[in-house]
Amino acid sequence: MTNIAKALIRLREERREAQHQVQKLGEAISVLEKLTRGSGITIHASSSHRVKRVLSAAGRRRISLAQKARWAKLRQMKKAA
């Protein structure tokens, strides 16, 4: 056999081994993804990331005031009835 033929055989073997390793990595990734799906924490490079949202104090205050206004309106409707 010539050196080129030997090199081709070796390269094909390495490619087969690399494909096998990629397959094993894919299986490991899918197992880990299945484990993290139930907990609500998912981190995928290809999909959207779940980031903890932070609400500012001003935003929290606006929500609080709006809810208090809804309660006050409800109380007024109960008194009128």
User: Residue 36: how many CB atoms within 10 A of its CB?
Assistant: 13
* Residue-level length of the chain: 81
Q: Helices marked H in the chain — which ranges?
A: 3-37, 57-80
Q: How far apart are CA 43 and CA 45, in angstroms?
A: 7
Q: Encode pLDDT of 14-66 as tens digits.
A: 999 999 999 999 999 988 888 887 555 555 555 566 778 899 999 999 999 99
Distance CA 58, CA 52 (A): 18
**Spans of all domains in the chain:** 3-44+55-80
Q: What does the pLDDT look like over 64-79, one tens digit per residue? A: 999 999 999 999 999 8
pTM, entire model: 0.42
Q: What are phi and psi of 29, to 5 degrees?
A: -65, -45
